[in-house]
Amino acid sequence: MIEHNRQDNLEGRDRDTIVSTGMDFSEKERSGSFLQQDSGLMFARSLSDGLEIMEIKEALEKDPEAAGYFGANFRSTGRDFDRETEGGYFIRVKRGHTIEFPVQACLFLKQQGFRQKVHNLIVVEEGAKAYIITGCSASHSASEGMHMGISEFFVHNGAYLNFTMIHSWQESVSVKPVSIASVGEEAVFISNYVCLKPVRDITMYPTALLHGRKARTSFNSIILSHPGSLQDVGSRVALQAEETQAEIISRAVSLGGKVVARGHIKAAARNVKGHLECRGLILPEQGSIYAIPEMETDYRDVDLSHEAAIGRINKDEIEYLRCRGLSPREAQSLIVRGFMDVGVLGLPDKLKAEIEELENSTLKAGL
Amino acid sequence: MMLEVKNVSVEVSGRLILQGVDMHIRKGEVVVLFGPNGSGKSTLLKTIMGFEGYKVISGEILLGETRIDGLPVEERVKLGLGLMYQHPPQVRGVKLAQIAGRLSGNAGLIKEMSERLSLSSHLSRDINMGFSGGEMKRSELFQLILQDPGLLLLDEPESGVDLENISVMGKVLDGYLKEEGKSALIITHTGYILDYINARKGCVMIDGKMWCVGRPKEIFENIRERGYDKCMGCDDRAQSAR
């Protein structure tokens, strides 16, 4: 349970917004929590052996190993990154530890016009396993705000990380996350992205580098796009070692906003497998979806494929459900609900049910 | 009278498909509809059901006392119509169990019928996704029984179904129709379904017109021996159709 005095600074509405990104203040089924408002830490603590969770600043000061991770994925890819960040979290799961309950983290934007810039490090050591649910959201008061988040993931040999990010912004907020993951031998990295609320614009193109043999990754995104929102969301995977596998699945529903669903898989080793799947539904006339699946290979012995289907809901399906007594509205809502199936996220049952609940409440209001 | 189709003409995409069709089905009556491919049988069923694009340009359709042409599909369902599709669409993301639960609040019946129709493992699957032809037909019948309509419209219930499963489906259907007051209109090409149900009336539709009415087994035997050409030369057409 997060002590009440720590929550006192949160207004009721803000608290609800934070909860809507998966934060459970009771911590009943959580292994650790982190909450940052604008650039200030509200709380950070671990409830589980083998799990460290703290502000990035603290980690860099006291732990040279953490400092070694800082920027490492950018250096290894020859990319530059913004050093003017303030805050962010450091989460490390120690070698061989399986963290039973999800770890929760939230970056909250409160002040009007605030430019939140964070740098997060997530390290899962050899053979360790964890689920992380992170929320990024903005207060009703945070109009004209901006969030830029750098995240670096290090999933070491034989480790497993399921990272679910839930965004819950406001109409006037701009968001630009940048993330790079490095995935070791026989390690698994699952990255889920759920965005159901309005936002001004989001641009993100997280990258995973599978450099260890038999490493696997899945990027799954579920996006609901409201009128006036622009969501340019993609994922990129480089299959750099033999027998690595990647899957990129995106499901986008436009309620009038614009979605650009990108995906890029590059085969840079032999005997690798990659699959892209993009499905999009446009409900009103004015929505738009732009699906851009890309694949490239330098080798012959690879298995890369993609499928994409975008457009309106098939009229025959609506008619079929009406024949079973559903109104056109009910039929549409049932199809959309099924389309945004959280089953693809590979979550434990409890967490899956929580996210389903978030989806249900958003869809009920949105459709 | 359960259903009355009175002098109904129907256009689909600007083409006249049904021309002045008359037909009635009494409460408790099972009517079999024969006719060559493209004669308008499915169009008649879809028109009765109220599908989009099936435009009634003249005539009227009554279900009981209520005029139903012009009503939305789901309203007709509420009044007791139920359709078994010939080619049902795949509905991604919607599980068979979800629809079953909406059609019937009786979990025991859902369990029993899914077992009888060998669909227990299909309940957790998206409707018709990856179903074989026979599985789709069983799933259609399963949903229809749960829906419990007064008038069943069956569009080739046995096509694509193996003999063993035709027997299973035939028995389930017969059991349902024996309940008090259930009526049905059934399209069949193979005639297999006739071995399981007690149908006393058959009609033949040719070129969008109702051609003749008679005993279904006799009609079926005649068609089997001599084809539909013979029907077209049949003299009793006018009086028997009415």
- A128 plus A164 within the same structural domain: yes
Q: Do B89 and A320 touch (CB under 8 A)?
A: yes
Looking at per-residue pLDDT, the higher value among B226 and A220 belongs to A220
- A210 plus A342 within the same structural domain: no
Q: Flag whether pLDDT at B82 surpasses 50.
A: yes
| Distance to chain A for B49, nearest Cα, Å | 8
| Distance to chain A for B52, nearest Cα, Å | 8
User: Given this model, what pLDDT does residue A356 score?
Assistant: 87
- A295 plus A321 within the same structural domain: no
Q: What is the mean pLDDT of chain B?
A: 92
Give tens-digit pLDDT for A259-302: 999 999 999 999 999 999 999 999 998 999 999 999 999 999 99
By C-alpha distance, the chain B residue nearest A330 is B74
Q: Flag whether pLDDT at A69 surpasses 60.
A: yes
Q: What is the mean pLDDT of chain A?
A: 92
Cβ-nearest to A324 among B90, B93, B102:
B102
Q: Taking Cα atoms as reference points, which of A161, A135, A130 lies closest to residue A51?
A: A130
Q: Do B94 and A338 touch (CB under 8 A)?
A: yes
Query: If you count residue pairs, one on A and one on B, with CB atoms under 8 Å apart, how many are there?
Result: 62
Give tens-digit pLDDT for A155-184: 999 999 999 999 888 888 899 999 999 999
pLDDT band at A358 (very low <50, low <70, confident <90, very high): confident
- A329 plus A216 within the same structural domain: no
Superfamily of domain B3-88+153-241: P-loop containing nucleotide triphosphate hydrolases (3.40.50.300)
- A187 plus A50 within the same structural domain: yes
Give tens-digit pLDDT for B95-122: 999 999 999 999 999 999 999 999 999 9
- Of A280, A296, A313, the one marking the end of a domain is A313
| Distance to chain A for B143, nearest Cα, Å | 8
Provide, as residue numbers in chain A, all residues whose Cβ is less than 8 Å from the Cβ of B72: 322, 328
Number of domains in chain A: 2
Choose from A277, A314, A317, A324 for mutation: most chain B CBs within 10 A: A324
Residue A314 DSSP code: P
Q: Flag whether pLDDT at A111 surpasses 90.
A: no
A291 pairs with which residues across the strands? Answer: A261
Measured CA to CA, the distance from residue B162 to residue A25 in angstroms comes to: 57
User: Given this model, what pLDDT does residue B1 score?
Assistant: 67
Q: Is B75 on the interface with A (CB under 8 A)?
A: no
By C-alpha distance, the chain A residue nearest B51 is A319
Burial class, A217, CB count within 10 angstroms (exposed 0-12 / middle 13-18 / buried 19+): buried
Q: Which amino acid would we find at residue A74?
A: F
Q: Is B45 on the interface with A (CB under 8 A)?
A: no
Q: Is B22 on the interface with A (CB under 8 A)?
A: no
Chain B (86-105) residues lying within 8 Å, Cβ to Cβ, of chain A: 88-95, 98-99, 102-103
- A241 plus A348 within the same structural domain: no
| Distance to chain B for A8, nearest Cα, Å | 42
- A228 plus A332 within the same structural domain: no
Q: Do A339 and B143 touch (CB under 8 A)?
A: no
Structural domain harbouring A337: 314-367
pLDDT band at A113 (very low <50, low <70, confident <90, very high): confident
- Of A288, A313, A338, the one marking the end of a domain is A313
Question: Mean pLDDT across the stretch A222-251?
Answer: 96
Predicted complex ipTM:
0.94
User: Given this model, what pLDDT does residue B236 score?
Assistant: 59
Parse chain B into domains and list their residue ranges: 3-88+153-241
Q: Do A321 and B52 touch (CB under 8 A)?
A: no
Choose from B85, B94, B127 for mutation: most chain A CBs within 10 A: B94
Q: Do B94 and A334 touch (CB under 8 A)?
A: yes
How far is C-alpha A74 from the geometric centre of its chain's CA atoms? Answer: 19
Q: Which residues contact A115 (CB under 8 A, 6 or more apart)?
A: A145, A146, A148
- A73 plus A216 within the same structural domain: yes
Looking at per-residue pLDDT, the higher value among B24 and A143 belongs to B24
- A284 plus A226 within the same structural domain: yes
pLDDT band at B148 (very low <50, low <70, confident <90, very high): very high
Q: Do B103 and A325 touch (CB under 8 A)?
A: yes
By C-alpha distance, the chain A residue nearest B125 is A338
Q: Which of A93-97, A195-199, A322-326, A340-344 has the lowest mean pLDDT?
A: A340-344
**Are B219 and B186 within 8 A, CB to CB?**
no
- A251 plus A364 within the same structural domain: no
Phi/psi region, residue B160 (left: phi>0; alpha: psi -120 to 50; beta: rest), is left
**pTM passes above 0.90:** no
Provide, as residue numbers in chain B, all residues whose Cβ is less than 8 Å from the Cβ of A335: 91-94
User: Given this model, what pLDDT does residue A23 score?
Assistant: 87
pLDDT band at A6 (very low <50, low <70, confident <90, very high): low
- Residue A66 token pair: 């953490």
Give tens-digit pLDDT for A47-63: 999 999 999 999 999 99
Backbone phi, then psi, for A366, in 5-degree steps? -85, -25
- A330 plus A211 within the same structural domain: no
- Residue A268 token pair: 């840079």
Residue in the structure block whose two tokens are 């996006």: A223
Q: Do B93 and A314 touch (CB under 8 A)?
A: no
Q: Flag whether pLDDT at B163 surpasses 70.
A: yes
Measured CA to CA, the distance from residue A59 to residue A53 in angstroms comes to: 9
- A150 plus A32 within the same structural domain: yes
Task: Please give the share of chain A, as a percent, with pLDDT higher than 70.
Answer: 97
